[in-house]
Chains A and B, each alone.
Chain A
Amino acid sequence: MEADTCKQCAQFFSVPKDADDYEAGKADCVLEKEDEKGKYWLSKPVTENSKRCDSFRLKR
C-alpha cells in the first residue's frame, strides 16, 4: 500500500515522551535543504496523520 501520511516518512521524528511539547502522534519533520549558500536543515511540527507532502521520502 502506498504511504500517504507523514508517519511513514523518513524525515518524521516522533517527539520524545519527556519533551515539553509532547503530544501523542506529534513529531518533528526535519528536511535537509540546499541553495547557493549551502546546506541547511528545517524542522517543523507535524502529526503522524498529516498528509504527505512533496518532500516525502519513504522510511526504510
Chain B
Amino acid sequence: MNQMLSAKVLEYRGKTLDFSPENPAEAKIPADELHEHLQKPSTARTKRLKERCRWKHASAGEFVEKGVRAGIERMRYITEAHKASIGQPEVIRRALGLANVLNKSTLVLQPDECIVGYHAEDPNQFPLYPELSSMGVQDFLMSDYAPQPAEEAAEIHKYWMPYSLQAKCQPYFDPTDLRRMYQFSSMEAPPFVSGYNSIVPPYETVLQDGLLARIKLAESHIADAQKAMSAFPWDGTKGLDYIEKIDNWKAMIIACKAVISWARRQGRLCKIVAEHFETNPKRQAELLEIADICHRVPAEPCKGLKDAFQAKFFTFLICHAIERYASGYAQKEDSLLWPYYKASVIDKSFQPMDHMEVVELVEMERLKVSEHGAGKSRGYREIFPGANDLFILTVGGTNADGSDACTDMTDAILEGAKRIRTPEPSIVFRYSKKNREKTLHWVFECIRDGLGYPSIKNDDIGTNQMLEYSQYSITGNGATNEEAHSWACVLCMSPGVTGRRKTQKTRSEGGGALFPAKILEVALNDGYDWSYADMQLGPNTGGIETLKTFDDVLEAFRKQYRYALQMCLSTKDVSRYFEIRCMQMPFVSAIDDGCMELGMDANALSEQPNGWQNPVTTIVAANSLVAIKKLVFDDKKYTLEQLNDALMANWEGFDEMRADFRKAPKWGNDDPYADEIITSFYEDIIGGEMRKITNYSGGPVLPVGQAVGAYMEVGSRTGPTPDGRFGGEAADDGGISPYMGTDKKGPTAVLRSVAKVQKNQKANLLNQRLSVPIMRSKHGFDIWHSYMNTWFDLNIDHVQFNVVSTEELRAAQREPEKHHDLIVRVSGYSARFVDIPTYGQNTIIARQEQDFGAEDLEFLDVDI
C-alpha cells in the first residue's frame, strides 16, 4: 500500500508534489534544531515568565530541577485541625482541616504574573497528603525531597498511620493479594495505597454563581431541613436523613468561607506588594487590579475574562492540590470561558481587552500549570517522565444542537499553546466534521510544531458514550443530551461530563491500570512471576504443559486477567466506601449542584456512572498470542516448551527462533491473520470481561487503553515475550498503537487495523509519528485534514501525533542543554524530551515515522 517514500517529492494524481517547507525561511534551519526556533511568546512578559518558570518535571522518580521538594505546611495544618476536632462529624473535620490550611498557610506571589495563587509555602515546593496513603508519604520522607523539619514530618506521618485511607481499606484484603498489586507489574496498586487521584471540578458554578451564593444556598437548605425536622408528625424513616445532610451543608459553608478568605488574603498580598515593594507604576496598577479581582472572585460571579481565569485557577488549586490531591486539568475550557471572552473582547462590558491579550492570558495560565508541583508517590513520578503530572484540558467538539462548538476562545487557547510551547497542560481536541477550518488550522499548527497536542478524540464517540453510561445512573438522573455534549477528558483519554453537576469526583470511579503483557507472562507460568519479583503473582492456572491448544492459552490468560480485574475494581470501590466516610470533599460538594441540592458529599453522590480501567501493554500480549498461535499451534514449528526455554534464556542462543517470532504477523499492518485474533482479544477478553463488572455507580467498567509512561516501567518489569521482545524492553506505547517499528505498511494500514476494534471499548490511544517534511510543507494541512476525516469515518476513537525528526531527537540526546524546547508526545501527555530518561527517549525514536505514499493519499482521498 505504502511506497514509503522518503524523498520530498511525490507523484500523485498526475501531479508532482513538492514537500519543501511552507515557510521558505525554515529551509535554512538545520533539521536537528528546528524546535528551538518555533516558540513565539506573544509578549515580552510571557517570554520572561517562561525563562524563569519553576518546572516541576519528574523522571524515574526524581525531580529534574534542583531545589524542588515537599513542603510541610499542608500536612502540619491538616494534622493540627484533625487533632483539634476530635468528636465532631467527620465531614466537619474535613472542612475544618481545609479551613486551617487555607487560613494559616503561606501565600506566594511572583513577578509578572497576572493569574495568582499557589498551593505550598514556597514556589519550589508542593504539599503532601498524610491522610491518604502512608506509603506515599513515607516515600518522600526517605527521599531527598523530604519536608523540613524532617522530625516533624515523621511525627505527622506516624500520627496518621491509623487514620489514613490506606489504614481504613487494607484490612478488607488479603495481604498476599495486596503485595501482588504493589509490584506495579500486572496491576496498578489500589488508590488507597498509591494516593493517586483525579477529578473534574464543576468550575461552572464558581464562575457563574460565586461562592457567596453557594453559602446562601447551603444556609437555606439547612433552614429548610431544620423546619422539616420540627414539623409534626415526626417520621423517623425520613427525618434522620437530615442529620447527615445538615452536616454536609455546614461543612460546605465552612469550606466556602475559608476559600473566599484565602483568595482575599492573596489579593491583600498583591496590594501590599504594590504599595510597599513594587516601584514600577504599571505593575503597581496591575497588582492593585489583581487585588480587586481576588477580593471579588471566587466570592462573587465572574464578570470578565480576567475574573474567570483567576476564579478557575483558585478552584483548580483547591480541588486538585489543597482539599485533596488530584491529577488532571479536566475542563471544557473554551466553552467554560467563552461567555467571559464575549464580555471582555466582543462586548467590552467588563475587563475590556483584545484577542491577543486573551492569548497572553492563556500563555500565563499554561506557565502557572507548568509550575504546579504534585506530591504524588514514587510510582507516579516514574510513569509520566518529563512532565509534572497529567494536566489535560479539552476544547472543540459540538454543542447539543449539533452545531460547531469552536469559538475564538478555542483559537486563543490553541494559539497561546503554540506560541509559548510548554509540555503542560496538554490539550484534547474533540474532532467533528462540523468544526470550522480556522480552528482546525490552529490544531494542525500545534501538531506540526511537534507539541504532541492537541490529541484528537472523536466527538461523536465521546458524546454517545456519555449517553450510554447515563442509562445506568442509579439516581435516574444521568447526563442529558446537552450534558453529554459537554464532555471533556477526565485525564488523558476517558470522556466524562463537565458542568454544574454529574462530573467525576474521584479516580475510584474510573482510572487505574492493569498490564496484559505481564498477565500473559504469568499465564504461561502457572501464575508465577519469574522475571521480576520471583513470586506468585496470580492464581494457579497450570504450567505450560497443561496448555494443549490455543484456546487453553487464551483461557489461562482470561483467568489471570479476571483475577487482576477483580482486585483492581474491588480495591477501587472499597476506596470509594472509605472516601465517602473519611475523605469527604466539602468544597467540591459545595460547588456541585447535585451535592448542594441533596446535601451529599461529592464522593458519595454518583449521578453519571463513568467506570473504566486502563489496560496498558495490550499489544505486546496480543502480538505474542498471534505468534504463539501461528508458530506453535498452526505451523507447529515450535512447541510451547521450546518457546519457554527461549524466553527463560532471554532468547540467548535462540536467534533463529527469535527471528521467527519477530516475523510473525503484527498488529497495525491490516493483516487479516493478526487482526482477527487481536480484535477478538480486545473485544471478547480485554473489554468483554471488564464489562461484566459493575462499579459503585451502577454502570459497567470498560477499557481505556492508554499507556502514559507505564509502558516503559512495566516493560522493564516484564521478561521476554513471545512477540520477540527481550526482557526489560519497553512495551507498546499506546492503548491500541502498533508496537514500535512494527507497523511497516504505512499510516493508512494502521488506521484500517485499529478501526476493526469497536465492541466493549471506552477509549483506546493511538500514537502515530508523522513525517516532518510532509507536515511542514504547503500540503501538510490538506493531507492531515484528509487523514482526520478518514479516521473519523472509520469510527476510531483517538489519535495523537509526534512530528519530530530523528536527527533532532538524537541531537538532543547528545546536547540536552541546547534542546529545552523540544517537546514530544509520550502517551496521553507531552513532555520535554531532555527530561525523559534515555530508555524512554529511545522508545520515542524507535516509533515508526510514517511517510505518506501515493496510495495512502488515494485512500485518504486527498484533494491537492
B261 & A21 in contact (Cβ 8 Å cutoff) = yes
Closest to A11 in B: B276
Pick from A20, A30, A38: contact of B269, CB under 8 Å:
A30
**Residues of chain B lying within 8 A (CB to CB) of residue A13:** 268, 272, 276
A20 & B123 in contact (Cβ 8 Å cutoff) = no
A19 & B264 in contact (Cβ 8 Å cutoff) = yes
A37 & B107 in contact (Cβ 8 Å cutoff) = no
| Bound complex: CA A28 to CA B52 (Å) | 27
B106 & A40 in contact (Cβ 8 Å cutoff) = no
B265 & A38 in contact (Cβ 8 Å cutoff) = no
**Residues of chain A lying within 8 A (CB to CB) of residue B277:** 30, 32, 41
A30 & B103 in contact (Cβ 8 Å cutoff) = no
A42 & B54 in contact (Cβ 8 Å cutoff) = no
**Residues of chain A lying within 8 A (CB to CB) of residue B104:** 45
Closest to A31 in B: B106
**Residues of chain B lying within 8 A (CB to CB) of residue A32:** 277
| Bound complex: CA A35 to CA B52 (Å) | 11
Q: Knowing A42-B122, A43-B265, A43-B269, say if A30 contacts B257 (CB, 8 Å).
A: no
Q: Interface residue count for B (Cβ, 8 Å)?
A: 26
B268 & A38 in contact (Cβ 8 Å cutoff) = no
Closest to A40 in B: B110
B109: interface (CB < 8 Å): yes
Q: Knowing A21-B261, A37-B52, say if A45 contacts B272 (CB, 8 Å).
A: no
Closest to B275 in A: A13
Q: Knowing A21-B261, A42-B108, say if A37 contacts B273 (CB, 8 Å).
A: no
A39: interface (CB < 8 Å): yes
State how many angstroms separate the Cβ of B850 from the closest Cβ of chain A: 40
| Chain B, range 102-142, C-beta contacts under 8 Å to A | 103-104, 106-111, 121-124
| Chain A, range 26-55, C-beta contacts under 8 Å to B | 28, 30, 32, 35, 37-45
B265 & A28 in contact (Cβ 8 Å cutoff) = yes
B111 & A44 in contact (Cβ 8 Å cutoff) = no
**Residues of chain B lying within 8 A (CB to CB) of residue A19:** 261, 264-265, 268
**Residues of chain A lying within 8 A (CB to CB) of residue B273:** 30, 41
State how many angstroms separate the Cβ of A14 from the closest Cβ of chain B: 11
B272 & A38 in contact (Cβ 8 Å cutoff) = no
**Residues of chain A lying within 8 A (CB to CB) of residue B52:** 37-38
Pick from B121, B260, B268: contact of A28, CB under 8 Å:
B268
**Residues of chain B lying within 8 A (CB to CB) of residue A42:** 106-109, 121-122
Q: Interface residue count for A (Cβ, 8 Å)?
A: 19
Pick from A21, A30, A40: contact of B123, CB under 8 Å:
A40
Give the A-B contact count at a CB cut-off of 8 A.
67
Q: Knowing A21-B265, A37-B52, A39-B111, say if A30 contacts B276 (CB, 8 Å).
A: yes
A40 & B272 in contact (Cβ 8 Å cutoff) = no
The proximity string for A residues 1-20 relative to B, scoring 1 for CB distances below 8 Å and 0 otherwise, is 00000000000010110011
| Bound complex: CA A16 to CA B295 (Å) | 13
Closest to A33 in B: B122
State how many angstroms separate the Cβ of B214 from the closest Cβ of chain A: 15
B103 & A21 in contact (Cβ 8 Å cutoff) = yes
B67: interface (CB < 8 Å): yes
A43 & B260 in contact (Cβ 8 Å cutoff) = no
State how many angstroms separate the Cβ of B259 from the closest Cβ of chain A: 10
Closest to B103 in A: A21
**A13, A16, A37, A44, most chain B CB atoms within 10 A:** A37
A20 & B121 in contact (Cβ 8 Å cutoff) = no
| Bound complex: CA A13 to CA B107 (Å) | 14
Pick from A35, A38, A44: contact of B106, CB under 8 Å:
A44
| Bound complex: CA A19 to CA B265 (Å) | 8
State how many angstroms separate the Cβ of A53 from the closest Cβ of chain B: 13
State how many angstroms separate the Cβ of A1 from the closest Cβ of chain B: 25
State how many angstroms separate the Cβ of A38 from the closest Cβ of chain B: 5
**Residues of chain A lying within 8 A (CB to CB) of residue B124:** 35
**Residues of chain A lying within 8 A (CB to CB) of residue B121:** 42, 44
State how many angstroms separate the Cβ of A23 from the closest Cβ of chain B: 10
**Residues of chain A lying within 8 A (CB to CB) of residue B110:** 38-41
**Residues of chain A lying within 8 A (CB to CB) of residue B272:** 13, 28, 30, 43
**Residues of chain B lying within 8 A (CB to CB) of residue A44:** 106-107, 121
State how many angstroms separate the Cβ of B115 from the closest Cβ of chain A: 15
B268 & A40 in contact (Cβ 8 Å cutoff) = no
Q: Knowing A28-B272, A30-B273, say if A20 contacts B106 (CB, 8 Å).
A: no
B264 & A40 in contact (Cβ 8 Å cutoff) = no
| Bound complex: CA A41 to CA B54 (Å) | 15
A20 & B111 in contact (Cβ 8 Å cutoff) = no
B269 & A35 in contact (Cβ 8 Å cutoff) = no
| Bound complex: CA A21 to CA B262 (Å) | 9
Pick from A35, A37, A39, A43: contact of B268, CB under 8 Å:
A43
Q: Knowing A21-B103, A42-B121, say if A37 contacts B54 (CB, 8 Å).
A: yes
| Bound complex: CA A19 to CA B260 (Å) | 11
Closest to B55 in A: A37
State how many angstroms separate the Cβ of B294 from the closest Cβ of chain A: 12
A38 & B108 in contact (Cβ 8 Å cutoff) = no
Pick from B54, B108, B260, B276: contact of A20, CB under 8 Å:
B260
| Bound complex: CA A20 to CA B298 (Å) | 14
State how many angstroms separate the Cβ of A15 from the closest Cβ of chain B: 8
**Residues of chain A lying within 8 A (CB to CB) of residue B108:** 40-42
Closest to B268 in A: A28
B103 & A45 in contact (Cβ 8 Å cutoff) = yes
The proximity string for B residues 234-275 relative to A, scoring 1 for CB distances below 8 Å and 0 otherwise, is 000000000000000000000001001100110011001100
State how many angstroms separate the Cβ of A21 from the closest Cβ of chain B: 5
| Bound complex: CA A38 to CA B67 (Å) | 14
| Bound complex: CA A40 to CA B121 (Å) | 12
| Bound complex: CA A50 to CA B704 (Å) | 54
The proximity string for B residues 70-109 relative to A, scoring 1 for CB distances below 8 Å and 0 otherwise, is 0000000000000000000000000000000001101111
State how many angstroms separate the Cβ of B633 from the closest Cβ of chain A: 61
**Residues of chain B lying within 8 A (CB to CB) of residue A21:** 103, 261, 264-265
Closest to B278 in A: A41
Pick from A15, A41, A45: contact of B109, CB under 8 Å:
A41
B111 & A28 in contact (Cβ 8 Å cutoff) = no
**Residues of chain B lying within 8 A (CB to CB) of residue A16:** 268
State how many angstroms separate the Cβ of A39 from the closest Cβ of chain B: 6
**Residues of chain A lying within 8 A (CB to CB) of residue B109:** 40-43
| Bound complex: CA A25 to CA B642 (Å) | 81
**Residues of chain A lying within 8 A (CB to CB) of residue B265:** 19, 21, 28, 43, 45
**Residues of chain B lying within 8 A (CB to CB) of residue A43:** 106-107, 109, 265, 268-269, 272
**Residues of chain A lying within 8 A (CB to CB) of residue B260:** 20
**Residues of chain B lying within 8 A (CB to CB) of residue A45:** 103-104, 265
| Bound complex: CA A45 to CA B272 (Å) | 14
13 contacting pairs across A/B (C-beta < 8 A): A13-B276, A15-B268, A19-B261, A19-B264, A21-B261, A28-B268, A28-B269, A30-B272, A37-B54, A41-B110, A41-B273, A42-B121, A45-B265
Beyond the given A28-B265, A40-B109, A41-B277, could you list 16 further A-B residue pairs with CB under 8 A, ordered by the A residue number? A20-B257, A21-B261, A28-B268, A30-B269, A37-B123, A38-B111, A40-B108, A40-B111, A41-B110, A41-B273, A42-B109, A43-B109, A43-B268, A43-B269, A45-B103, A45-B104
The 4 closest A-B pairs by CB, nearest first: A20-B261, A43-B269, A43-B107, A44-B106
